[in-house]
Structure 1
Amino acid sequence: MAAQYSIDGTTAKGIAASVERGVAEGGLSPGDALPPVRRLADELGVSPGTVATAYKELRQRGLVVTRGRGGTVVAETPSVASRRPPRVPQGLVDLAGGHPDPAFLPVLRPPSPVTPVYGSHRAAPRLAALEEVTRQWFARDGVPARHVTFAHGALDCIARLLSTELRPGDPVAVEDPGFHHLLDLVPALGLRTVPVTVDGEGLVPESLRAALRGGVRAVVCSPRGQSPTGAFFSRSRRDELVAVLRDFPEVLVVEDDHNAEIGGAAAHTLAAAGLARWAQVRTVSKHLGIDLRWAGVACDATTLARHDGRMLMTSGWVSHILQETVSGLLRDEAVRALVTRGEAAYAERRTALIDALGAHRIRSVGASGLNVWVPVRDESAVVNGLRTQGWWVAAGARFRIASPPAVRITSSTLAPADAVRLAADFAEVLGDAQATYGG
């Protein structure tokens, strides 16, 4: 508890450093309340303004959040500590990770030999062959491909885009429920998350408009294979969202199309709609391999300049060895055939699980991607109940801000016959929970 950790310091920086130390060392845990400003000021013998400044710095850096009358508390994912997924207990079937089936991933063969070069690759950061393949990849789905660049994965790219575009405290519209790593990243950058409701067709236009009217500076969303719900933009929904976004041309719209090759849904993207400020990020982790930390980015000219300018000052470029590997895989016909088989298998497995749950009158969604989202009343009861049956699924709390409770089940490795058994166990767990909690 917060009461067991003594905050010290006589300056705003000293107080902030003391709180950060407590979080990093475990003296302060996520959700722990910090003392009210005036009380801590009296205890430390400083002015309330000094404590308020310390708390403001901690908020901007993503260590704490303010909950109105609930006071200031340690963030659920403070930026000094990453939230790693819980270890899967031995003997359980892991359906929580959101990962692809290794059977549909190619064997990685890095290029060899690699000729030493003098100096660095900053002057020519992108291999021409991979740049051309990347342009074709985006253009295939109508995404303008005049300006493309590379990053070290989707989140690396999104972090760079947001940090060059926004300032600490700026609001960012995110999907709710949404990708848990993004929900962790935004506050870690010192930015403020603004939830936008998601239904089966993705972002709800009315909810997005409310967020934009509230002053958000950027929007991050997925056009298909949305995690955790599997939602994807229909053509009509995309058009509705574009109509909303055109009233806010200064807002940066970032699409994370991480399931572009295996999502099982057509591409009706915002990136193809001619917005003023936009970027679409595509990664290869889900269909070529999780260790390929590479992403292609298509964007407007201003966004390209800001992204590459920041990258030039930091890592400089994505490894050319990695680029050679990705380029070869993207052009390999056998690899493409393997990925196509994987996409078909993932669709079959998603559908089988949804149908099996439906046979027990359990509502679920998962129209694309690798996961199925199942609304429940008590996440902990369901997760723990399925654990006793041998299944390991993800509690929805990691993916939610204000949306109702649910659990996420990764269906990518779940054979249809096993889906039937899982659905029966799920129904039994729900029956036990209703008996325990009075229906």
Structure 2
Amino acid sequence: MAAQYGIGGTTAKGIAASIERAVAGGGLGPGAALPPVRRLADDLGVSPGTVATAYKELRQRGIVVTKGRGGTVVAQAPSVGSRRPPRVPEGVRDLAGGYPDPAFLPELRPPSPVGPVPGSHRGSPRLAALEELTRAWFARDGVPAEHVTFAHGALDCVARLLSTELKPGDSVAVEDPGFHHLLDLVPALGLRIVPVEVDDAGILPGALRAALRAGVRALVCSPRGQSPRGGYFTRERRDALVEVLAGFPEVLVIEDDHNADVSGAPSCAALAAAGLPRWAQVRTVSKHLGIDLRWAGLACDATTLARHDGRMLLTSGWVSHVLQETVARLLADEEVARLVGRAEEAYTERREALLGELARRGIAAHGASGLNVWVPVRDESAVVNGLRSYGWWVAAGARFRIAAPTAVRITTATLEPAAAARLASDFAGVLGESEAMYGG
């Protein structure tokens, strides 16, 4: 077995390094099983404890995961490689990426000219104008804006918050189904995922209570436009979740409000507005101003702010002031604001058009807000491949799920209502073919 995988080494660090090289080089792909501890120990002539220590180090670094009786396997997105989205076949329409419609994104015009900077921006990392606009952005939805700061996008911010708050081996509650990049990030930080079930109103209070009792130290969720299912917090759901969280004041609650301005949700009942002791809400502009704007605004409690900024000061230091000024100009531009308003209207119309066409054909689907529709199916591969034959490319739900049932995700941001009927008809045809194949 050791020869098959090319694993070598006589110490825990040597064995771990050998496995890491195999993963980075592609010799051990995602999901590949590692030899049982005792078998590898016998093959290498070391103690089982040495191999167990090597496996533990790899788990803490997000390279492998342990699946109980299923043994130790390479993570689906190991931290020594990057899982890129599946390549879109030629000749099909891409509805898998989760991206906004470029027609509703403003032209980016960075400030010019940009003079040289004397010294460092570490002493004043945030432009005053953008900080003021960020406070107003959060305050608009009732989110406390006394403490705000910036980061290089939502995942950058979440990673920093989790790594300053938790230690390797700690548990994080995440939505299931949930944002696939977050599902990759958490184990890459050496943290354990605890899935929390969601419905059209967001995470379920009972599922959250069970996760909290299991000892999670942080919760990451979305108040609206939840990806991939599209749920948003109602006032009633928000209040029920706050009641559950009240018994666990030490838990850090992180909300990713990634499409705050184009979600189409009727209201924003954010947990961040409920007076929790430890909280953070991060917002980005990539969905409504441009995917290349790697900037995020963060509102949070004082302790979380100090920990986030303290870590950032030691690493990147600040977000580029050129980028900050670009974002500030866009946020203050009235014409851009009108374009964003038209985008939200169009995204809502397109999402609801597909939901309606699917419903008319007896196909249940979810998409209360956001840019996607989540359609439960029996066989993801059969549906993805079937729709491909009709000229559509959608995302299999496996990359978004942990324990949630099978489904596919369809991004509706660029799907005009006139095309929704054809897609729904093709979807019904694929389901009919699939049921005939599996005997109904």
TM-score normalized by the length of structure 2: 0.99
2:26 and 2:5 map into 1 onto residues whose CA distance is 9
- Which residues of structure 1 form unaligned runs of 5+? none
Q: CA deviation at 1:115?
A: 2.1
Within 5 A, what are the aligned runs for 1:110-129?
A: 110-129=110-129
Q: CA deviation at 1:356?
A: 0.5
1:85 is matched with 85
Do residues 417 (structure 1) and 429 (structure 2) align? no
1:72 and 1:11 map into 2 onto residues whose CA distance is 19
2:225 is matched with 225
- Aligned partner letter, 2:199: D
1:132 is matched with 132
Do residues 293 (structure 1) and 297 (structure 2) align? no
8 Å CA contact 2:106, 2:289 repeated in 1: yes
8 Å CA contact 1:224, 1:257 repeated in 2: yes
2:358 is matched with 357
| 1:125-179 Cα distance to aligned partner (Å, 9 max, x none) | 0000000000000001000000000000000000000000000111000000000
- Aligned partner letter, 1:129: A
| 1:410-437 Cα distance to aligned partner (Å, 9 max, x none) | 0000011111000000000000001111
1:43 is matched with 43
Range with greater deviation from structure 2 (305-314 or 70-79): 70-79
Within 5 A, what are the aligned runs for 1:262-341?
A: 262-265=262-265, 266-341=267-342
Q: CA deviation at 1:29?
A: 1.1
Aligned partner of residue 397 in structure 1, secondary structure: helix
Would the alpha carbon gap of residues 128 and 398 (structure 1) be closer, same or farther in structure 2, given more than 3 Å must change? Answer: same
Q: CA deviation at 1:2?
A: 8.3
- Aligned partner letter, 1:410: T
- Aligned partner letter, 1:377: R
Would the alpha carbon gap of residues 351 and 123 (structure 1) be closer, same or farther in structure 2, given more than 3 Å must change? Answer: same
2:438 is matched with 437
Within 5 A, what are the aligned runs for 1:383-394?
A: 383-394=384-395
Aligned partner of residue 97 in structure 2, secondary structure: coil
8 Å CA contact 1:63, 1:80 repeated in 2: yes
1:205 is matched with 205
Within 5 A, what are the aligned runs for 1:16-165?
A: 16-165=16-165
Aligned partner of residue 298 in structure 2, secondary structure: strand
Do residues 260 (structure 1) and 260 (structure 2) align? yes
Q: CA deviation at 1:76?
A: 1.1
Aligned partner of residue 340 in structure 1, secondary structure: helix
Aligned partner of residue 164 in structure 2, secondary structure: helix
1:268 and 1:425 map into 2 onto residues whose CA distance is 36
8 Å CA contact 2:350, 2:417 repeated in 1: yes
2:74 and 2:335 map into 1 onto residues whose CA distance is 49
| 1:1-53 Cα distance to aligned partner (Å, 9 max, x none) | 98732210000000000110111111111111111111111110111110000
1:8 is matched with 8
Aligned partner of residue 428 in structure 1, secondary structure: helix
RMSD, matched Cα: 0.9
2:6 and 2:412 map into 1 onto residues whose CA distance is 46
Q: Percent identity?
A: 78
1:348 is matched with 349
| 1:386-419 Cα distance to aligned partner (Å, 9 max, x none) | 0000000000000000000000000000011111
Aligned partner of residue 409 in structure 1, secondary structure: strand
8 Å CA contact 2:374, 2:409 repeated in 1: yes
- Aligned partner letter, 1:365: H
1:403 is matched with 404
2:11 and 2:82 map into 1 onto residues whose CA distance is 27
Aligned partner of residue 340 in structure 2, secondary structure: helix
1:308 and 1:134 map into 2 onto residues whose CA distance is 16
Aligned partner of residue 196 in structure 1, secondary structure: strand
TM-score normalized by the length of structure 1: 0.99
8 Å CA contact 1:2, 1:27 repeated in 2: no
Range with greater deviation from structure 2 (276-285 or 83-92): 83-92
8 Å CA contact 1:349, 1:411 repeated in 2: yes
Would the alpha carbon gap of residues 2 and 247 (structure 1) be closer, same or farther in structure 2, given more than 3 Å must change? Answer: farther
1:17 and 1:136 map into 2 onto residues whose CA distance is 49
1:99 and 1:46 map into 2 onto residues whose CA distance is 50
2:224 and 2:431 map into 1 onto residues whose CA distance is 30
- Which residues of structure 2 form unaligned runs of 5+? none
8 Å CA contact 1:2, 1:28 repeated in 2: no
Aligned partner of residue 381 in structure 2, secondary structure: helix
Aligned partner of residue 237 in structure 2, secondary structure: helix
1:6 and 1:343 map into 2 onto residues whose CA distance is 52
- Aligned partner letter, 1:295: A
- Aligned partner letter, 1:173: A
1:29 and 1:116 map into 2 onto residues whose CA distance is 46
- Aligned partner letter, 2:407: A
Equivalent pairs counted in the alignment come to: 439
1:314 and 1:141 map into 2 onto residues whose CA distance is 31
2:13 and 2:258 map into 1 onto residues whose CA distance is 39
1:358 and 1:143 map into 2 onto residues whose CA distance is 36
Aligned partner of residue 399 in structure 2, secondary structure: helix
